[in-house]
Structure 1
Amino acid sequence: MARSSLLKLATTLSLVVSILLALHTQKTLSLDIEDEDEEYVLDTPPPASFIRSRSRFLAGTVVKKGAQCRAERSNICNGVSANAGTGLLHCCKKHCRDVLADKNNCGQCDNRCKFGESCCNGKCTNVAFNANSCGTCGKKCSPEVKCQYGTCGYA
């Protein structure tokens, strides 16, 4: 009787540990971290023609992520540098997107990164096993330490 209880306990614990590890890996590699409240700070002020525009987001040097734009018209989102040079805005499907960091518009509009990849400086990067971008863009592992499952020195 005690042996079967011990076996059930061991099985239950192994299942719980497996689920927790799977959730941790999924959270580490999750690409759905989209903060729609994020704002882009333009590196240069917009031209006077934009300030007179009816659109609210063109009035200053801050553009809210996902703000509407039109690629066929002259607008603030076409090739404008933002966030001290770390962002490059483009008008993708009528919304301002940072093509250097947006996983759905990586490097150019409509270029989607695969599962487990993040958009790092406009290139889809496998952050699960990249020692220079381990778990997130730019997170470097120490020399001689491998990046495994988005963690430096996993296991």
Structure 2
Amino acid sequence: MATFLLKLSTILSLTIFLLPFHSQTALSTGRIQDDEEYVLDNPFVNNSRLRGRFLTTVVKKGTHCDPVTNNVCDGVSANNGTSLLHCCKTHCRNVLSDKNECGQCGHKCAFGELCCNGSCTNVANNDAHCGKCDTACSPGVKCEYGVCGYS
């Protein structure tokens, strides 16, 4: 019985410890969705032998691409200019918000940084991006630990 209680308390403490980190990451980026879609600003006709000719208006996050034969997302603007898609390796990535492909393919942000408008940004102490991208503090209020006016 004592062993069971020890295991149970260990599992509960780990769960309680890890839960804030998971929810904070999801809230801070505000963009974590597995089924995220990008609505293209200028739809184009794709001439693929496998699928025929069709008008492409939506590209899903992580869509397979090939820079030579099937380049559906190289430098394509989407979501009214808030997204810029590039074919990084073999998948479509938004270089304006993807912290693994920030600003260009292969440019990874450091620990604690988010990709805000194509630049790696430390959101813990940036008055223009406090806690998450595009969350500005009021004039004269400092961003500390990702919160405006922490002290």
TM-score interval w.r.t. the shorter chain? Answer: 0.7 to 0.9
* Structure 2 stretches lacking a partner, 5+ long: 1-15
CA distance in 1, matches of 2:147, 2:59: 33
TM, length-normalised to structure 2: 0.76
User: Which of 89, 94, 103 is the aligned partner of 1:98?
Assistant: 94
Higher relative CO (Cα under 8 Å, sequence separation at least 6) belongs to 1
Identity of aligned residues (%): 56
Q: Does 1:27 align with 2:27?
A: no
CA distance in 1, matches of 2:89, 2:30: 19
Deviations 1:85-133 (Å, cap 9, x if unpaired)?
1111000120000001100000011111111111111100111100000
**Number of matched pairs:** 134
Who wins on radius of gyration, i.e. which is larger?
1
- Partner residue in 1 for 2:6: none
- Partner residue in 2 for 1:124: 120
TM, length-normalised to structure 1: 0.74
Task: Name the structure where helix makes up a greater proportion of residues.
Answer: 1
- Partner residue in 1 for 2:8: none
Counting only pairs closer than 5 Å after superposition, residues 4-153 of structure 1 correspond to structure 2 as 23=20, 27=24, 34-47=32-45, 50=46, 54=50, 60-73=56-69, 75-153=71-149
Conservation of the 8 A alpha-carbon contact between 1:52 and 1:59? no
Task: Name the structure where strand makes up a greater proportion of residues.
Answer: 2
Matched AA of 1:36: D
Q: What is the CA RMSD across the aligned residues, in angstroms?
A: 3.0
* Structure 1 stretches lacking a partner, 5+ long: 1-18
Conservation of the 8 A alpha-carbon contact between 1:31 and 1:117? no
